Amino acid sequence: MTNERRVLVHKNKQALAGSVAARFLTNMVDVLHEQDEAHVVLTGGSVGIAVLKAINESAARDTIDWSRVNFWWGDERWVPRADRERNEVQAREALLDHVDVPQTNIHSFGASDDHVDADIDTDALDVAAARYTAELLAHAPRGEQYPRFDVTFLGVGPDGHVASLFPHRSGIREREASVVTVRDSPKPPADRLSLTRPVLNSSNRVWLVLAGSDKASALGLALAGASRDEVPAAGIKGRYRTVFFVDSDAAAQVPESLIAPAY
């Protein structure tokens, strides 16, 4: 299988979410036919959650053996466990609470109100990063640092950020760590946890899902070869395939040669 990078344009956000949901369900059937379990990285944001809702509402939802699917997150906001700002809370409401996925398959980041038994000089956010790093390692093939992800969902911010890897911040340049802490984020809340670029790029398929005219410039720059420091989305590429699922507004600055027919 060769690495492909393409853009699929849909007429609006609803069509976009439905198309991505259908493709995901088809992909999971294929993956689970070929291997014992799947690993999926989820994203937050309005479009990312709309995709999860569309998966839940699909007539094909129960064709998947959800007990064999593991869910991870690309990033998380450092807020209390039950806070609706958490990507985990939104994902559970949209999909995870409606399918038969074991709780042990839901690998959520730590929360600000978790009990931390650590030295007084150890920051709780650092402890949470270390714990998620250990969780990734525990599910990794021997000799590797993280699981072999089958699909990684990502949103793209108007500034081109992905997960919580922001322009001109050290996170996008990290090469060794699997998880980084983010403090003083340019987008609230200030504190966050995020997977790093090497982890995101280890996925077989990276699906970047975005909608709205405010994303057009970032998408255009990412596809035009901007540096990953300027536009973090430009540095994201799956092992086999990278697809930008977008609506017509977000596609305003995409070169025609990169646009493929919608699924």
30-64 pLDDT per residue, tens: 999 999 999 999 999 999 999 999 999 999 999 99
pLDDT at 163: 98
Coil, helix or strand at residue 76? strand
The mean pLDDT of 157-173, rounded to a whole number, is 97
143: left (phi over 0), alpha (psi -120 to 50) or beta: left
pLDDT, residue 118, reads 55
pLDDT of 263 reads 43
Question: CA-CA distance, 62 to 55, in Å (whole number)?
Answer: 10
Q: What is the pTM of this model?
A: 0.94
User: Has residue 80 got a pLDDT over 70?
Assistant: yes
Residue 62 CA: distances (Å) to CA of 65, 99, 105, 149, 200: 7, 8, 17, 21, 27
The whole-number pLDDT of residue 45 equals 95
Q: Give one word for 30, left, alpha or beta, with left for phi > 0 and alpha for psi -120 to 50.
A: alpha
pLDDT score at 218: 96
> Quick one: average pLDDT of 224-238?
96
What single DSSP character describes residue 31? H
* Domain 4-260, classified CATH 3.40.50.1360, yes or no: yes
Domain ranges across the chain: 4-260
Residue 85 sits at the vertex; the CA angle it makes with 56 and 10, to the nearest 5 degrees, is 45
pLDDT at 117: 66
pLDDT tens column, 87-133: 999 999 999 999 999 999 999 999 999 977 655 556 999 999 999 99
Q: Mean pLDDT across the stretch 246-253?
A: 94
Helices 87-94 and 45-57, axial angle in degrees (round to 10): 20
Residue 260 pLDDT class (50, 70, 90 cuts) = confident
Please confirm whether the linkage preceding 189 is cis (ω < 30° from 0). Answer: yes
